[in-house]
Amino acid sequence: MQLSNLVQRLVLPTPTTPEPLLYARTSGDVRMVDNGAVLSDGGTLSFDTTFGVLAAGRWRRVSHVNNLGVSVRASGVGIAEVVAVNGKKEMVVATAQLPRGEGSPTSVVLNVPDLQTSTDGTYYVRVSAIGGEVCMTGGEWFTEDAPRHEVRLSLSITTFNRQEYVRKTVHNVLDLVRNSDALNGKVRVLVVDNAQNVTFDAASDAPLTVIPNGNLGGAGGFARGLIELRKLGWATHVLFMDDDITLEPEAIVRTMSLFAYAKDARLCVHGAMLSEERPWLQFEAGSQYSWRSIYPLQALGREDDMRERSVAVQDAP
C-alpha cells in the first residue's frame, strides 16, 4: 500500500476571516460556520482563489511530482470536481459524487494523474449541492509519489520589543506543527531576541529556542540565527521571518512540500507579502534587480488585488 504525502490543504474561511475571497468563492446559499461550510441546494463553493488553487505549472516545473489527488471532506447531495485552468480555457478533469446517508464516508478522493505531461496552469476544487444539502469541512491535496528529499525546517525570527506579534506567530506555528503529522518533528522555531525580554507560554518540550542577542538590528539578528542553526546542524532549510507579521500557517505546509519534491535540492523560496491593513493587496512577490537603476529593486506583483479571480488562477512563475 502506497503512502499519501501531503502537498497542500484546502483551507476554508471562518466567519471572522478578514478577507474570505482569498480562500474560497461561493454562489447561491452557502453559510460559513466555525468548522466548515454548509451548502443549500444550488449552492457552490470553489477554491479558484489565491490560497485555494494548486499551482500545477509551478509544481511541474520545479518538482518531480507526477500523480496528484485531492481528498475533499464533504458529504451530502452533490458533487466534487477538479477544474483545470490553461490560459483562458477551463475544463473539469475529475468528478465524484459526494457520499451521503448515515454511516457513509465523510470524504471523497479525486485523482489527477500525469502532471509532468500536462500543460495545465492551475487546478482548483469545486463543490456543488444538487438536490439537497452539502456539508464541507476542508480537504487535502496529496501525492503517492515518494519524496526526493528529507526536509527539516527551522524558522529564524528576529524580534525587538514586539512581544504581542511574535508570541502570536510562534503560537500559531507551534500549534500547526503539533497538530500535523506531516510537520511534527520536522519544524522548529528559533527566536533571536534583540531586546532580551521576550517570554513564551510554551510547553517545555515544544520545538522552540530563544537566543538573547544584542540590539544588532534585523541583519544582525538574522545572522545570529543562521550562525546558531549552523552550529546545531539539524535544519536542512531555514525560513527567515520578521516579528511584526500575521502568518498564514498554510504557507509552512506548502513550503515543506515543495522542498521535499524539488528537482533541485538547492531550491529557495521567496515569500509574497500582503498588506496588513488591506489583506487583499499584495505588496510584492519577490523583486527583479535592475542594473544601474536609481531604484534597483523592482517589486513583482506590486498592488495586485489578490481577490481577483484572474490573478488567482493564472499560471504562477
The least confident of 189-193, 223-227, 270-274 is 270-274
> For residues 4 and 81, which has the higher predicted lDDT (pLDDT)?
81
Q: What is the pLDDT of residue 270?
A: 87
Beta bridge partners, 5, equal 143
The least confident of 66-80, 99-113, 157-171, 195-209 is 99-113
H or E element in which residue 111 lies: strand 108-112
> Which of the residue ranges 14-18, 35-39, 187-191 has the most confident prediction, judged by mean pLDDT?
187-191
Asked if pLDDT for residue 71 goes beyond 50, the answer is yes
**Chain segment 150-166, per-residue pLDDT in tens:** 999 999 999 999 999 99
Q: What is the mean pLDDT of the chain?
A: 94
How much is the pTM? 0.92
Could you give the percent of the chain with pLDDT greater than 70?
98
Asked if pLDDT for residue 2 goes beyond 70, the answer is no
CA 164 remoteness from chain centre: 23
Helices first, then strands: H and E counts in the chain: 5, 17
Full set of structural domains in the chain with CATH: 5-143 (2.60.120.200), 153-261 (3.90.550.10)
Could you give the percent of the chain with pLDDT greater than 90?
83
The rounded distance, in Å, linking the Cα atoms of 227 and 40 is 55
Q: What is the pLDDT of residue 1?
A: 43
Pairing of the two strands 108-112 and 68-86: antiparallel
Which amino acid appears at position 94 of this protein? A
Q: What is the pLDDT of residue 104?
A: 67
Across the range 186-214, mean pLDDT stands at 96
Tell me the torsion sign for CA atoms 102, 107, 110, 111.
Answer: negative
**Chain segment 231-283, per-residue pLDDT in tens:** 999 999 999 998 888 888 899 999 999 999 999 999 999 888 999 899 999 99
**Chain segment 77-108, per-residue pLDDT in tens:** 999 999 999 999 999 999 999 999 776 678 99
Helices 250-261 + 163-178 axis angle, to 10: 60
The rounded distance, in Å, linking the Cα atoms of 165 and 305 is 25
The least confident of 20-29, 30-39, 138-147, 252-261 is 30-39
Across the range 297-310, mean pLDDT stands at 93
